[in-house]
Chains A and B, each alone.
Chain A
Amino acid sequence: MNSERIVGRSVPRKEGRDKVTGRSKYVDDMVLPNMLFGATVRSQIPRGRINKITFGPGIAWDEFVIVSAKDIPGKNCIALIGDDQPCLANEFVNHPEEPILLLAHPDRHLLPKAVEAVSIECEALPAIFNIEESECRSEVIWGENNIFKTYLIEKGDIDGVWSKADFIVEGEYTTGAQEQLYIENNGMIAAFDGAQGLTVWGSLQCPYYIHKALIGLCNLPAEKVRVVQMETGGAFGGKEEYPSMIAAHAALLAMKSGRPVKLIYDRMEDMAATTKRHPSRTRHRTAVTRDGKILGGEIESTIDGGAYLTLSPVVLSRGAIHAGGPYHWPNVRIRATAVATNAPPHGAFRGFGAPQSLFAMERHMDRIAEATGLSPIEIRRRNFLRTGDTTTTEQVVREPIDLGKLLDRGLEISDYHSKKKRFAIQNKGGDTRKGMGIATFLHGAGFTGSGERYLSSVVGVEGCADGSVRVLVSSTEFGQGTKTVLSQIAAEALGLPYDSVSMGQADTLEVPNSGPTVASRTVMVVGKLVQSAALGIKQTLISSGLLSEAYSADEFRAACRRYVSEHHQFRSWSRYEAPADIFWDDEKYRGEAYAAFAWAVYIAEVTVDLTTFSVSIDDFVALQEVGKVLHPLLATGQIIGGVAQAIGFCLYEKVVWQNGRMQNNQMTNYIMPTSSDLPAIRVFFEELGNVYGAYGAKGIGELPMDGPAPAIVNAVSDALGVHFDSVPLLPEDIMDKLDSARLAVAAEEADVGGGR
Chain B
Amino acid sequence: MNDSGPGPAKVEISFAVNGETKTVRSYPMERLLDVLRRDLGLTGAKEGCGEGECGSCAVLMDGMLVNSCLVPVLQAEASSIVTIEGLSDGETLHILQQAFIDCGGAQCGICSPGMILAASHLLNQNADPTVEEIREGLAGNLCRCTGYSQIVEAVAEAARRRTSA
Which residues of A approach B to under 8 Å, CB–CB? 10, 12-13, 15-26, 28-29, 107-113, 180-185, 231-236, 266-268, 478-481, 633-634, 636-637, 640-645, 666-668, 672, 674-678, 680-681
Contact = CB atoms under 8 A, between A and B. Distances in A.
A640 B46 contact: no
30 contacts: A12-B101, A13-B106, A15-B109, A16-B106, A19-B108, A20-B101, A20-B105, A21-B44, A26-B46, A28-B47, A108-B2, A109-B2, A181-B144, A183-B56, A184-B110, A266-B50, A267-B49, A267-B50, A479-B107, A479-B109, A479-B145, A633-B103, A637-B107, A637-B146, A641-B146, A644-B146, A666-B51, A674-B138, A678-B147, A680-B149
B104 A637 contact: yes
B144 A234 contact: yes
Question: Ordered nearest first, which 8 A-B pairs have the shortest CB separation?
Answer: A22-B44, A109-B5, A233-B110, A19-B109, A644-B147, A479-B108, A479-B107, A22-B84
Contacts, number: 190
Interface residues of B, number: 61
B28 interface: no
Contacts of A641: 107, 144-147
A183 B111 contact: yes
Contact of B88 (A21, A107, A480, A633): A21
B1 interface: yes
SS of B interface (majority): loop
Contacts of B147: 637, 640-645, 678, 681
B106 A267 contact: no
Nearest to B84: A22
B69 to A, nearest CB: 10
B108 A17 contact: no
Interface string B1-43: 1111110000000000000000000000000000001000011
B151 A675 contact: yes
Given A267-B48, A675-B138, A675-B139, A640 B150 contact: yes
B73 interface: no
Nearest to A25: B43
Given A22-B83, A641-B147, A672 B142 contact: yes
Contact of A675 (B49, B84, B109, B135): B135
A676 B53 CA distance: 14
Contacts of B87: 21
Interface of B: 1-6, 37, 42-51, 53-54, 56, 83-85, 87-88, 93, 97, 100-113, 116, 131, 134-136, 138-152
A117 to B, nearest CB: 13
A678 B3 CA distance: 35
Given A644-B147, A675-B151, 9 more contacts: A10-B104, A20-B101, A109-B6, A183-B110, A478-B108, A640-B146, A645-B147, A667-B51, A667-B142
Contact of A109 (B4, B113, B149): B4
A329 to B, nearest CB: 33
A266 B1 contact: yes
A181 B142 CA distance: 10
Nearest to A232: B108
A22 B47 contact: no
Nearest to B101: A16
A18 B43 CA distance: 12
B3 A20 contact: no
B152 A675 contact: yes
Contacts of B56: 183
Contacts of A180: 144
Contacts of B51: 267, 666-668
Contact of A21 (B93, B102, B144): B93
B100 A234 contact: no
A266 B2 contact: yes
A603 to B, nearest CB: 17
A72 to B, nearest CB: 27
B49 A21 contact: no
Contact of A678 (B116, B134, B148): B148
A107 B6 CA distance: 11
Contacts of B101: 12-13, 16-17, 20
Contacts of A636: 104, 150
A111 B5 CA distance: 11
A184 B50 contact: no
Contact of A112 (B2, B6, B93, B103): B2
Q: Which of A15, A109, A110, A236 has the most CB of B within 10 A?
A: A109
A183 B146 contact: no
Contact of B148 (A15, A22, A236, A644): A644
B21 to A, nearest CB: 21
A232 B101 CA distance: 18
A22 to B, nearest CB: 2
A321 to B, nearest CB: 27
A268 B1 contact: yes
A109 B7 CA distance: 11
B153 to A, nearest CB: 10
A633 B2 contact: no
A236 B110 CA distance: 14
Contact of B109 (A110, A233, A676): A233
Contacts of B113: 20, 22
Contacts of B148: 640, 644, 674-675, 678
Contacts of A110: 5
B86 to A, nearest CB: 9
Q: Which of A634, A676, A681 has the most CB of B within 10 A?
A: A676
Contacts of A480: 107
Nearest to A643: B147
Contacts of A184: 46, 48, 108, 110
B148 to A, nearest CB: 4
Nearest to A113: B3
A20 B104 contact: no
A677 B142 CA distance: 11
A674 B139 contact: yes
Contacts of A183: 46, 48, 54, 56, 108, 110-111, 142-144
